[in-house]
């Protein structure tokens, strides 16, 4: 123990010697001394600082996720050169099922540290983090100190799971208590209420996971280095299924390669037609279903090998649950293809606009949020102000009502990134110019017609790729985000970067359809 702590323990030990064995405080003091002695004050596990070996372990455990692996190896390299560096707290943010928690376990294995997972979901008592004072009945240390005691070393990897789901009430705010724990400048003298003496947390490697950042307290968010994990691409899911999911499920269900084989086309169909998610949980459930059905055959005495292909997949999993997104069959007036980010990754979005006899009203349907409605209003105002330049009869605005609809009306939609898609559908309907069916677009629009940047470029481009759309219009300021898009996808697609909505119309709209006028004999 550090000298000041040892002095305090000696003082309390002398106090215990003078106390009557049957007094209530004796048991309390005895428990406190037991915990103080059990804590690993100077016991630490020897780190693996061999970068090549660490890289190998990370690659074996997880396919893809290059950005996170690179960051971990950088931290290891620093530890190798510098004796006691100031560590940063990594926060892995991404949709459910992409492997955030298992990545923490894999990192601990790679650097040879003990791994302790500390779930924060639903924690709303500050004492859970900082411990209770010894005066209370049933007092105990906070969960951070308990985790260190459980690990048995003073340098474990503590994974704070679901940090975005911490809540606060009259018992205090746990996320405020975490400010000290997660600050490398302060946590070398973390004072747990139960211990009453400082404990050095600077050797502990903290990692946190979250699904969304918005609910994390700003001061706490500021202490963490955020690494975003996007959903997996179809190709990545296929490789993960072959390397990890299928062998794991076969082992768990007691079958071997002699009982079951799945063709690559069969696996592709499971990914595309039976799951729609960013992560892998549903995919794992579908593979487990197949393994269970084969296990039943084996248990009933049928030793023959089952080979699953595209043709017989429905016998095991039933009819396809999801129809893959596909582009429109024809160029149509008033229908533009947009791109959106959903909880399951990227998606394509058809935006429809029609004109009908009326007085110039704009109607919006499809369960749109406020931001999306405002985008539609901005697109309408832009079209109205530039009618002559866009080849639209100015008189038409007072004679027709315009209805913009986004199908799948049961799903709430919001965000500004459909602005240029709405403008394209609107201008197409008013000027009778068909929209090219092989073009998808995303971008925010201003009243001046400028195209502003958006988020989720990788997910949106992959959604267009899945729908066999090979031309995507993106805001010019999003050119810097193209490094996130897989190279093989970039090679097969054409990207048009635009600064003004006029460029969008040039790329997306065809010349106006000629309306036949009956001869009047003049």
pLDDT by residue for the chain (522 residues), tens only, comes to 888 888 888 888 888 888 888 777 888 888 888 888 888 888 888 877 778 888 888 888 887 777 778 887 887 788 778 766 666 788 888 878 888 888 888 888 888 888 988 888 878 777 788 888 887 877 888 888 888 888 888 888 888 888 888 877 666 677 777 887 888 777 778 888 888 888 888 888 888 888 888 888 888 888 888 888 877 777 788 888 888 888 888 888 888 888 888 888 888 888 888 887 777 888 888 899 988 988 888 888 887 888 888 888 888 888 877 776 666 777 788 888 888 887 666 788 888 989 888 888 888 888 888 888 888 888 888 888 888 888 888 788 888 888 989 887 667 777 788 888 989 998 888 888 888 888 999 999 888 888 898 888 888 888 888 788 888 999 999 889 888 887 888 888 889 999 998 888 888 888 876 544 444 444
CB contact at 8 A, 444 and 478: no
Do the domain assignments include residue 517? no
Structural domain contains residue 43 = no
Q: Does residue 243 sit in the same domain as residue 135? A: no
- With respect to residue 127, please indicate whether it lies within any of the assigned structural domains: yes
Count of structural domains, the chain: 4
To the query of whether residue 304 is one of the catalytic residues in this protein, the response is no
Place of tokens 């008033």: 334
Verify that 114 and 142 share a domain, yes or no: yes
**Whether 303 and 408 share a structural domain:** no
123 assigned to some structural domain: yes
> Does 142 share its domain with 238?
no
**What are 365-407's pLDDT values in tens digits?**
888 888 888 888 888 888 888 888 888 887 888 888 889 898 8
Active-site annotation holds for 460: yes
- Residue 396 belongs to what domain range? 332-508
Cα-based angle 91, 95, 96 (whole degrees, multiple of 5): 100
Is 42 within the bounds of a domain?
Answer: no
CATH code at 360? 3.30.230.10
pLDDT (tens digit per residue) in 264-277 = 888 888 888 888 77
**Cα separation, 276 vs 292, whole angstroms:** 22
- Indicate the pairing of strand 451-452 with strand 444-445: antiparallel
The catalytic position among 106, 147, 375, 417 is 417
Task: Give the position of tokens 């305090």.
Answer: 8
Residues 345 and 288 reside in one and the same domain: no
User: CB burial class (10 A; 0-12, 13-18, 19+) of residue 234?
Assistant: middle
- Considering the domain architecture, whether residues 486 and 366 belong to the same structural domain is answered as yes
Place of tokens 């248990």: 299
185-241 residue pLDDT tens: 777 788 888 888 888 888 888 888 888 888 888 888 888 888 888 777 777 888 888
Q: Classify residue 107 by burial, with Cβ atoms within 10 Å: 0-12, 13-18, 19+.
A: buried
Q: Residue 414 domain-assigned?
A: yes
**Together in a domain, 70 and 29:** no
Whole-model pTM: value is: 0.74
């Amino acid at each position: 123990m550090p000298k000041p702590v040892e002095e305090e323990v000696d003082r309390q030990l002398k106090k215990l010697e003078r106390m009557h064995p049957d007094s209530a405080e004796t048991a309390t003091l005895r428990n406190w001394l037991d915990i103080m002695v059990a804590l690993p004050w100077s016991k630490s596990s020897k780190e693996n600082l061999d970068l090549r070996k660490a890289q190998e372990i990370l690659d074996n455990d997880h396919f893809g996720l290059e950005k996170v692996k690179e960051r971990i190896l950088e931290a290891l390299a620093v530890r190798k050169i510098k004796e006691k560096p100031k560590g940063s707290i990594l926060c892995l943010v991404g949709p459910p099922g992409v492997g955030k928690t298992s990545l923490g376990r894999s990192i601990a294995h790679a650097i040879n540290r003990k791994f302790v997972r500390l779930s924060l979901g639903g924690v709303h008592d500050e004492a859970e983090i900082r411990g209770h004072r010894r005066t209370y009945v049933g007092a105990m240390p906070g969960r951070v100190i308990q985790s260190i005691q459980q690990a048995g070393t003073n340098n474990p990897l503590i994974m704070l799971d679901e940090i975005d789901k911490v809540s606060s009430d009259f018992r205090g705010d746990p996320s405020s208590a975490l400010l000290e724990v997660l600050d490398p400048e302060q946590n070398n003298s973390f004072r747990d209420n139960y211990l009453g003496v400082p404990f050095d947390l600077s050797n502990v490697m903290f990692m946190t996971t979250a699904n969304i950042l918005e609910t994390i307290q700003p001061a706490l968010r500021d202490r963490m280095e955020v690494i975003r994990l996007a959903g997996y691409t179809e190709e990545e899911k296929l490789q993960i299924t072959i390397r990890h999911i299928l062998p794991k499920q076969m082992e768990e269900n007691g079958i071997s390669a002699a009982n079951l084989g799945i063709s690559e086309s069969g696996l592709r169909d499971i990914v595309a037609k039976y799951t729609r998610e960013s992560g892998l949980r549903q995919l794992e459930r579908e593979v487990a279903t197949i393994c269970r059905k084969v296990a039943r055959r084996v248990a009933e005495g049928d030793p023959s090998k089952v080979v699953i292909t595209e043709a017989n997949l429905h016998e095991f999993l039933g009819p396809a649950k999801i129809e893959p997104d596909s582009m429109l069959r024809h160029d149509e007036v008033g229908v533009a293809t947009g791109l959106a980010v959903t909880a399951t990754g990227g998606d394509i979005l058809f935006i429809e606009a029609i004109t009908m006899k009326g007085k110039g009203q704009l109607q919006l349907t499809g369960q749109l949020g406020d931001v999306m409605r405002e985008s539609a209003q901005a697109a309408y105002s832009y079209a109205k102000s530039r009618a002559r330049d866009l080849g639209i009869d100015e008189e038409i605005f007072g004679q027709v009502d315009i209805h913009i609809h986004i199908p799948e009306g049961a799903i709430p939609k919001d965000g500004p990134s459909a602005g240029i898609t709405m403008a394209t559908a609107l201008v197409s309907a008013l000027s009778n110019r068909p929209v090219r069916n092989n073009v998808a677009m995303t971008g925010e629009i201003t009243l001046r017609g400028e195209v502003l940047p958006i988020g989720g470029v990788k997910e949106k481009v992959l959604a267009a790729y899945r729908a066999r759309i090979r031309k995507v219009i993106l805001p010019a300021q999003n050119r810097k985000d193209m490094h996130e898009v897989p190279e093989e996808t970039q090679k097969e697609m054409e990207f048009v970067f635009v600064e003004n909505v006029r460029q969008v119309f040039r790329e997306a709209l065809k010349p106006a359809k000629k309306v036949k006028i009956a001869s009047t004999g003049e």
